[in-house]
Amino acid sequence: MNETIFLVALFVAVLIIAYTIIRYILNRRQIARNLASTKRKRKQSNEDINKVLGSGNEEIRYYLDVVQNEPQNSLRMRLVQAGYFSKSALAYFNIIRFTIAAIAFGAVQFGIGAMAPSISLALLLMMAMVAAGVGFILTSAVLENMGKKRTREFRKLFPDFMDLLLVCVDAGLSINAAIDRVTREFLLTTRDFGVQLSIINLEIRAGRPLHEALSNFSKRIAVEEAQTLAVLFKQSEELGASVSKTLRVFSKEMRQMRLIRAEEKANALPIKMLFPMALFMFPVNLIIVLVPILLVILEMLSGLAPR
What sign does the dihedral 251-253-254-260 (CA atoms) show? positive
pLDDT at 52 over 70: no
Compute the average pLDDT of residues 58-86: 74
User: Which residue in 50, 9, 19, 29 sits closest to 194, CA to CA?
Assistant: 50
- Residue-wise pLDDT for 111-158, tens only, equals 877 777 777 777 878 888 888 888 888 888 888 888 888 888 888 888
CA 59/CA 198 separation, integer angstroms: 12
pLDDT value of position 44: 45
- Cα angle at 233 between 231 and 239, to 5 degrees? 100
Cα(170)–Cα(94) distance, integer angstroms: 48
Under the banding of pLDDT at 50, 70 and 90, the label for residue 307 is low
Q: How many residues does the chain have?
A: 307
Alpha carbon distance 264, 282 (integer Å): 27
Task: Tell me which long-range contacts 82-89 makes (C-beta under 8 A, separation of at least 24).
Answer: 82/143, 82/146, 82/147, 82/150, 83/146, 83/150, 83/192, 85/59, 85/60, 85/195, 86/59, 86/62, 87/58, 87/62
pLDDT tens digit sequence for 172-226: 888 888 888 888 888 777 877 888 888 888 888 878 888 888 888 887 777 787 8
Q: Are 73 and 143 within 8 A, CB to CB?
A: no
Instruction: Give the residue, 51 or 241, on which the prediction is more confident.
Output: 241
Pair 242, 236: CB distance under 8 Å = yes
Q: Which amino acid is at 11?
A: F
pLDDT > 60? residue 17: yes
Mean pLDDT of the chain: 78
Tell me the pLDDT tens digit for each residue of 3-13: 677 667 777 77
Q: Is the dihedral of CA 158, 164, 167, 173 positive or negative?
A: negative
Residue 107 has pLDDT above 80, yes or no: yes
Q: What contacts 224, CB < 8 A, 6 or more positions away?
A: 218
Amino acid at 75: L
* Crossing angle of the two packed helices 243-280 and 224-239, in degrees rounded to 10: 160
The whole-model pTM stands at 0.62
Q: What is the pLDDT of residue 213?
A: 83
The pLDDT score that the predictor gives to residue 53 is 55
Please state the domain extents for the chain: 41-149, 153-258
